[in-house]
Amino acid sequence: MKIKFLGTGTSQGIPVIGCKCLVCKSNKKEDKRLRSSVIISVLNKKILIDTGPDLRQQSLKNNINKIDYVLYTHAHRDHVSGIDELRSFNFIQKKEIKAFGNKELVNQLKKDFSYIFSDFKYPGLPNIELTSIEKTFYIENVKIIPIRVKHHKLNILGYRINNLTYITDAKTINDNELKKIDGSEILVINCLQVKEHLSHLNLNEMLKLVSKINVNKVYLTHISHNLGLHHKVNKKLPKKIKLAYDNLELNL
């Protein structure tokens, strides 16, 4: 199994339009972050998590020419607004793409992108079969465990796929859901910035949460320019925790 980070930035990405801070002005590739998304290769299948606004350039940059399934975390724009780009994969694959999310996500997507999900289909629209899931399910022979997390007041999902757990935009995770992450080889989790934030884990909250779970390695995503320079922040983190960066690929 492989995971590739297509984007590791928060909603505005890095650099932020018009910002002159050290991080936004950095020339290092690790300090440039598109909106958060990953693609997972398992048993010859490609599973994309979220379709953010950068999906087109992420697909071109990483030579992605196949997407079998999409797992959605939640319906905020930085995670869904590239949904139309799935058309390109429909055209190549000549069939629908199956997508999954919780009922909040399914209802919101059907409202916000009604043209995609209406009975009358204009020719050339994305062809997506959207299913609401709450409990463990299988795609092909791959077991997918949804992890319920809170994004301020919104119920959103993370996912465990074999030994990999991917969680973004969490603010809190209850002990029951934390148990589902236990034993993962790799945990990907959001870490926005140093200062506290209403709806996202900050650095200290992430550290506290990670200390409660038994995982080998932790990679941070959904990062804002306020977290600091990639290389500087990485040096200060405990050994098993690292910042992810765009185009990083990990084997499991």
Chain contacts with Zn ion (rule: CB under 5 A)? 16, 19, 21, 24, 76, 78, 169, 225
* Closest distance of CB 76 from Zn ion, Å: 3
Q: Nearer Cβ to Zn ion, position 160 or 225?
A: 225
Rounded CA gap, 89 and 95, in Å? 9
Residues 6+ apart with CB under 8 A from 104: 74, 75, 154, 155, 156
Rounded CA gap, 176 and 31, in Å? 35
* Closest distance of CB 81 from Zn ion, Å: 11
Q: Nearer Cβ to Zn ion, position 162 or 226?
A: 226
Tokens of 191: 């870490």
Tokens of 186: 């790799």
Q: Nearer Cβ to Zn ion, position 1 or 24?
A: 24
Q: Nearer Cβ to Zn ion, position 16 or 145?
A: 16
Of 98, 78, 80, nearest to 89 (Cα)?
98
* Closest distance of CB 17 from Zn ion, Å: 10
Q: Is residue 186 classed as helix, strand or coil in its secondary structure? A: strand
Q: Nearer Cβ to Zn ion, position 21 or 237?
A: 21
Tokens of 205: 């909250």
Rounded CA gap, 149 and 155, in Å? 6
* Closest distance of CB 243 from Zn ion, Å: 16
* Closest distance of CB 128 from Zn ion, Å: 20
Q: Is residue 76 classed as helix, strand or coil in its secondary structure? A: coil
